[in-house]
Amino acid sequence: MAQCSVVQGETQRQQADKRLEYAKFRRAMTLVVTAVSMTPLLLLSAVLYFNYHAVYESKVIDHLEAVVERHALAIDEFLFERRQNVHMQVDSYPYEQLRDETLLYDRLRKMQSNYSNDYVDLGLVDENGLQMAYAGPFRLLQADYGTAEWFRQAIAEERYISDVFSGMRGAPHFIVTAQGHRTDGRAFVLRATIDFAHFNERVRHIRMGTTGLAFLINRHGEFQTGLRPDEIVDREALARIIGINFAEGVPVHLEKTNAQNQAMIYVAYPLKIKDWILVFQQDKHDAFEHLYSAQLISVSVLLLGGLAIIGTALALIRRMVQRISVAEQDQEVLQKQVVETGKLAAIGELAAGIAHEINNPLAIMVEHAGWIGDLMKAENTAAMKGYPEMDNSLREIEIQGRRCKEITHKLLSFARRTDSRVQETQLNDLIEEVIEVSAQKARYGNTTINLELDPALPVVRISPTEMQQVLLNLVNNAIDAMNKEAGAITIRTRSEDAWAVIEVEDNGQGIPEANMARIFEPFYTTKPVGKGTGLGLSICYGIIDKSGGTINVSSTVGVGTTFTVRLPVLPAVPAAPAVEA
Amino acid sequence: MSMAKILLIDDEASFLEVLSKRLETRNLTIATALSGEAGLKILAKDHAVDVVILDVKMPGLDGIETLQMIKKNFPLVEVVMLTGHATVETAIEGMKLGAFDYLMKPCDIDLLVQKVQEAKEKKIKHEEKIVQAQMKEITGRMA
C-alpha cells in the first residue's frame, strides 16, 4: 500500500506540473487576448471621449454665450428705449413747460402707460443740481443733487444712465437722464427713475438648469442686480471678469473653482448702452449634466464590455486549454501505444530469433541421442548391466527435446504475428495461445487458469496481434491482482446476440470503488514505480473501442474482478457503443 | 540393396553427420552437402539420387532457392523440406514449388524415413509413367 501511495504521489506531482504549465499558458493567452481586444476599445473610447467632450463643451458654452448675448441685447434695447423716452421729453418740451408739475405728471403717466411701469418718477433738475419740478410718489421737490455723482455726469452728457444706488429714497434704483438747454443756454437735466424691482426681474429671469443665474455688475464689480441670499458669487471671478478687455459684441467665458471647491462657468457680455457687464454663472456640473450622464453611461458600457470580453476570453481559453490537454493526453497515449506495440514486435522478433537458433542445436542433440539409440540396438544389450537405465535416459533426452521443440514452436508462432491487420479471428484459439504464454507466470504466482470456452463461438473481425495484447494484459493484470495462496483465473467465452463475449474473472483483491472510475484512464496505475506504465487497460480500451466493442469491469474488494469484453460478431458494427464502466 | 539414394543438404555439419549415419543404418544410401550450391553439384554428377532432404534456412542459396533450382534442373528428384521455423507459409511455398512434403526440426527419424520412402515410391511411379509413355510413343510409332 505504501508503494501505491508513492506511485500516486509521483503521478500527482506530474499532474500538478502539467496543471501549472497549462495555468501559465492560460494566463499568457488571457493576457494576449484581453490586451488585443481591449486596446482598440480603450483607444477608441478615449478618442471618442475627448472629442465628444470637447465638442459638447464648446456647444454648451456656445449655447450659453448665445443666450447671454440675446439677453444682453434685450437689456441694451430696454435701456436704449428708456433713454430715448426721457430724451424725447426734453426734445419735445422746453424747460419752462417741464417745470409745470402737471405736465410732468401727465408725461409720467403717459410714459408708464405707453412703455412700462418701470418708470417710478420724473424730475427736472437745474444746472446746480436742484430739483425744480418733480412728479412721483416721493417728496423730492427742491432736492439738491448738486453733490451727487450721477448729477455731475448727467449735466456733462447728453444722455446718461446711472449705476444702481439707494440715494435719498433709501431704496435701490437707477436713473436715466437727458440733458437739455434753456433759452438762455443754461443746461438742465430731466431724470427718470427706473423701478429697480422690475429691472431686476428682467435680468433674474435668465435662468438655466438648477444653478444657472445671471446678474449685472458695473466696471468696479459692484452688483447692479440683486441676488438671493443662497446665491453665492465668487468675488475673485468677478475681479477677473472686470479685468477682461472686452472686444465689441463678443461674449467671454471662463472657468473657475470657487471657495466651495465647485467648478463654475462664467459667461460675461458687456452691454453697449451702459458700461455694465451681464454675467451668467452656472455650476459646471449642472451645465454639463448631460455630458456627465453620457460619460457615466459610456464608462459603464466600457467597463461591462471589458468585463464581458475578459470573461469570454477566460471561458474560451479555459475550454481551449482543456481541449488541448485532452488532445495532448490522447496523443501521448497513442505514442505510448505505438511504442508498446513496437516493443512487442521487437520482442517477438527477438524471441523468434532465439527460438530458431536454439532449434538447430536441439535438433542435433536429439539426432545424436537417436544415433546412440540406433547404435545400442546393434549391440548385445542384454550383456550390459546399465542398459535399461541408459535406454531410459535416451528416451528422456528425446522427450525433453520434443518439449523444447514445442516451446520454441509456440514462441515462434506467437511472435510471428506483429501486424495489426484486421482479420477474421477465432477468439478461442487466441485465448489458448495466450494462456500457453502466460501459464508459466501464473504457475509462479500459484494461480491456476481455467478455460470455459464456448466451442460454437463465432469469429470476429479484429487484429489477432492487438487482441492478443488485450488478452495478455487482462490475464497478466489478473495474475498480478492475486495476493493469496490459491488464485484462480477463469476465462469464459460465449456468444450473446450479435456479440462474442470474453470474461476474464479472477478471485484477487478486487478494485476499490474509488479507483473504478479511473482504471481505463491512461497512466493510472497502482503498481509500484517501474512495474506498470498505467497504459495496459487504456490500450485495451482503445483496441476494443476501435474494433466496435466494449470493455466493462465489475469488482468486489476481497472477492475478485471480472473484465467483460464484447466484440461484434460479423458483420462488424462500425460505430462503437458507449462504455458503461 | 539400398532402399533409396538420399542427398542431405544442411549447413550444420554435425547434424549432417549424425543424420546420415542414422539413415544409413536404415538401409538408405546417403550423400551430403553443406550448402545448396554443393548439393546441386552433386545432383549434376550423381543421377542416382532419388530424394533430397533439404534444410530451409541456410546461408548462401536458401532452401526455397535450392528447391527451385532442383525442380528446374532435376524435375524427377523428390524433395522433403526440413524446417526449423514453424512457418506454415514457407512450407506452403515449398509445396507449391514442388516439394514432396515438409517436416519440422527436430524430427522423428522414423517419420523421416517414412516420408523418404513415400517420396521414393512417388518417384518410381512417376518414372514408370514416363517409361510407359515412352513405350506408348514407341509402339504408336511402330503401328
Tally of CA atoms within 13 A in the half-sphere of A363 that contains its CB: 29
Burial class from Cβ neighbours inside 10 Å (0-12, 13-18, 19+) for residue A400 reads middle
Q: Give the span between the Cα atoms of A352 and A526, in whole angstroms.
A: 33
Could you report the per-residue pLDDT of A412-463, keeping only the tens digit for each? 666 655 455 677 888 888 888 888 877 777 777 788 888 888 888 888 888 8
Are A364 and B14 a contacting pair at CB < 8 A? yes
CB atoms near residue A47 (< 10 Å): 10
Q: What is the pLDDT of residue A3?
A: 46
Could you report the per-residue pLDDT of A317-326, keeping only the tens digit for each? 889 888 988 8
Into how many domains does chain A fold? 2
Q: Give the span between the Cα atoms of A477 and A563, in whole angstroms.
A: 10
Contacts of B106 in chain A (CB under 8 A): 359, 362-367, 401-402, 405
Could you report the per-residue pLDDT of B112-122, keeping only the tens digit for each? 999 999 999 99
Task: Tell me if A213 sits within 8 A of A281, measured CB to CB.
Answer: yes
Return the CATH number of the domain spanning residue range B5-142: 3.40.50.2300
At A498, the amino acid letter reads A
Task: Tell me if B43 sits within 8 A of B79, measured CB to CB.
Answer: no
> pTM for the full model?
0.48
DSSP A145: -
A210 falls within a domain: no
Task: Tell me if A520 sits within 8 A of A8, measured CB to CB.
Answer: no
Contacts of B84 in chain A (CB under 8 A): 356, 359-360, 363
A575 falls within a domain: yes
Q: Which of A368, A378, A412 sits opposite B85 (nearest CB)?
A: A412
Q: Give the span between the Cα atoms of A414 and B20, in whole angstroms.
A: 33
Are A409 and B104 a contacting pair at CB < 8 A? yes
B105 touches chain A (CB under 8 A): yes
A494 falls within a domain: yes
Q: Which of residues 37-96 of B touch A (CB under 8 A)?
A: 57, 84-87
Q: Which of A363, A371, A412 sits opposite B86 (nearest CB)?
A: A412
Burial class from Cβ neighbours inside 10 Å (0-12, 13-18, 19+) for residue A23 reads exposed
Are B109 and A416 a contacting pair at CB < 8 A? no
Contacts of A363 in chain B (CB under 8 A): 12, 15, 84, 105-107
Contacts of B15 in chain A (CB under 8 A): 360, 363-364, 367
Q: What is the pLDDT of residue B42?
A: 93
| Exposure class string for A199-221: b at 16+ Cβ within 10 A, else e | bbebbbebebeebbbbbbbbeeb
Tell me the shortest Cα–Cα distance from A355 to chain B, in angstroms: 9
3-state SS record for A117-135: CCEEEEEEECCCCEEEEEE
Are B86 and A374 a contacting pair at CB < 8 A? no
Which CATH number is A499's domain given?
Answer: 3.30.565.10
Cell of A187: 443746461
Structural domain including A145 reads 93-198
B104 touches chain A (CB under 8 A): yes
Contacts of B32 in chain A (CB under 8 A): none
Q: Which of B14, B23, B27 to mutate to test the interface with A (most CBs of A within 10 A)?
A: B14
Q: Give the span between the Cα atoms of A39 and B108, in whole angstroms.
A: 89
Residues comprising chain B, all counted:
143
DSSP string, A465-477: HHHHHHHHHHHHH
Tell me the shortest Cα–Cα distance from A25 to chain B, in angstroms: 55
A244 falls within a domain: no
Are B22 and A413 a contacting pair at CB < 8 A? no
DSSP string, B46-112: -TT--EEEEES--SSS-HHHHHHHHHHH-TTSEEEEEESS--HHHHHHHHHTT--EEEESS--HHHH
Q: Which of A198, A213, A242 is the last residue of a domain?
A: A198
Are A374 and B104 a contacting pair at CB < 8 A? no
B97 touches chain A (CB under 8 A): no
Cell of A56: 459638447
B15 touches chain A (CB under 8 A): yes
pLDDT tens across the length of chain B (143 residues): 578 899 999 988 999 999 999 999 888 999 999 999 999 999 999 888 999 999 888 888 888 899 999 999 999 899 999 877 655 667 778 888 889 988 888 888 889 999 999 999 999 998 899 999 988 888 887 76
Q: Give the span between the Cα atoms of A163 and A463, in whole angstroms.
A: 115
Q: Which of A359, A379, A400, A409 to mutate to test the interface with B (most CBs of B within 10 A)?
A: A359
Are B21 and A366 a contacting pair at CB < 8 A? no
- Report the residue of chain B nearest A378, measured CA to CA: B25
Q: What are the domain boundaries of chain B? A: 5-142
Which CATH number is A143's domain given?
Answer: 3.30.450.20
Contacts of B25 in chain A (CB under 8 A): 374, 378
Contacts of B104 in chain A (CB under 8 A): 405, 409
Q: Which of A198, A226, A253 is the last residue of a domain?
A: A198
Query: Taking an 8 Å Cβ-Cβ cutoff, which residues of chain A contact chain B?
Result: 356, 359-360, 362-368, 370-371, 374, 378, 401-402, 405, 409, 412-413, 416
**Average pLDDT by stretches of 10, chain A with 581 residues:** 51 79 86 88 88 88 88 87 87 87 88 81 88 86 84 86 80 86 87 83 79 85 78 81 78 83 87 84 85 88 89 88 87 76 70 79 89 85 84 88 78 59 82 81 81 87 82 84 78 89 88 80 69 71 83 86 88 46 38
Are B19 and A374 a contacting pair at CB < 8 A? no
**Which of A94, A82, A303 has its CA nearest to residue A196?**
A82
Are A367 and B87 a contacting pair at CB < 8 A? no
Residues 6+ apart with CB under 8 A from A326: none
Tell me the shortest Cα–Cα distance from B132 to chain A, in angstroms: 40
Task: Tell me if A481 sits within 8 A of A561, measured CB to CB.
Answer: yes
Tell me the shortest Cα–Cα distance from B134 to chain A, in angstroms: 43
Let me know the angle formed at the C-alpha of B10 by B105 and B97, rounded to the nearest 5 degrees.
80
Q: Give the span between the Cα atoms of A536 and A356, in whole angstroms.
A: 29
Q: What is the pLDDT of residue A579?
A: 42
Q: Which of A367, A401, A409 sits opposite B22 (nearest CB)?
A: A367
Tell me the shortest Cα–Cα distance from A19 to chain B, in angstroms: 51
- Report the residue of chain A nearest B13, measured CA to CA: A364
CB pairs under 8 A between A and B: 55
